[in-house]
Amino acid sequence: MKKYIIGMLCLVGSATGLEAANHLTAQAAQDSLASIVKEWKAAKKKQYQKAWDQHVINIDGLTMPFWTTYYGEEPAGGYSLYISLHGGGTVPAEVNDQQFDNQKYLYEPANSLYFVPRAPYNAWNMWCKPKLDQFYEAIIQMCMAQANINPDRVYLMGFSAGGDGVWRMAPRMADSWAAASMMAGHPGDVSLLNLRNTPFMIWCGAEDAAYDRNKLDKQRGEQMDSLQKADTGGYIHETHIVESKGHWMDRVDTAAVSWMARYTRNPYPRKIVWQQADVRRPSFYWITVSNKEMLPGKTVRLEVHDNVIDISQCDYRRLTFGLNDELVDLNRKVIVRFKGKSIFKGKLRRSAQTLRKTLYERNDPRYAFPAELTVNLTDW
């Protein structure tokens, strides 16, 4: 009983703190968000101006040159962004440089900014080493500020070693992508659980037998089949093991571009499956966890329906939810349940301070939330 009371006090205290903040209407929150995002974009434009002008991103002593081109006219909501990862690997730098040049002309996505980075490493895992997360984040932030790209239409694609990178980065940063496509890469032991809300395409030549790519990519496609069968609302995917083709598929994989373009990111999915990878991340969609608790394999499963957040699995002691009126009705009480037990019920207030805080923490305007709620799960 004592633990039960302590748990309730933690939750009530968290809610009380939010209620003490300035109270905005839904419309006032939208107006405040527009102003804060304008300020944030101006700051990001200044931060990345040199990188944009010189076509090279520098982070912690690593450099990532890049090449860009526009295709088509800018749509009303902003250009789409296609990040296209070249092949190569553990070879001399000149070989990777040539692969970088080749990637520039492989695909022509309509109404988009086509962005081809040169990997900062010359290694098989050149696109998924731990520090690469910062580069992908920088690319997206820079392009939002400098090129007015639509943050809900960011796509990841890659060929060969670039495909290796897509296999790993698509699930790891699934909340960043509208869709992703892997061409001729090796999946390794990556978990696909995080792709629940991210459409994913697999391309491999049936005769691409090096490192068993053809067999393993086919097996991963079958895993996606099983995940989708068990969860019919998620795990949208297509698998193409192309007959009579080897590592080079004679560009049949260009069909991936129009397939990905069908999809727009939903930053507020009502069902989330999140499993930490070896390279750990503190946030996923509208969930945040403590850095101290992040360990590979830790998993959260939850759903939202009728202002109720139902947590069916959580390996963390505490979760923080970023909430807005697209996800729940903040004019009504929000209920949180853990394994069927109600652990919070109360109204949350919209705050300009919370909008600013979450925007500068997440560096994505779609993850700027007017309300936050932290729940303690240790006593349930």
Average pLDDT over residues 231-254: 97
At 258, which amino acid appears?
S
- Please check the confidence at residue 5 and state whether its pLDDT lies above 60: no
Q: Are 18 and 372 in contact (CB under 8 A)?
A: yes
Total Cβ atoms within 10 A of residue 49: 13
Classified as helix, coil or strand, 221 is helix
Name the DSSP class of 119.
P
Mean pLDDT, all residues of the chain: 94
- Please check the confidence at residue 18 and state whether its pLDDT lies above 90: no
Q: Are 359 and 35 in contact (CB under 8 A)?
A: no
The residues spanned by each domain of the chain are 2-38+268-376, 55-260
Q: What is the pLDDT of residue 15?
A: 46
Total Cβ atoms within 10 A of residue 306: 8
The structure tokens listed for 82 are 């296609």
According to the CATH classification, is domain 55-260 in 3.40.5.90? Answer: no
- Please check the confidence at residue 13 and state whether its pLDDT lies above 70: no
The structure tokens listed for 347 are 């109204």
Total Cβ atoms within 10 A of residue 25: 12
- Alpha-carbon span 215 to 193, nearest angstrom: 20
At 117, which amino acid appears?
P
pLDDT tens track for 156-183 = 999 999 999 999 999 999 999 999 999 9
- Alpha-carbon span 16 to 34, nearest angstrom: 27
Q: What is the pLDDT of residue 19?
A: 46
pLDDT tens track for 29-81 = 999 999 999 999 999 999 999 999 999 999 999 999 999 999 999 999 999 99
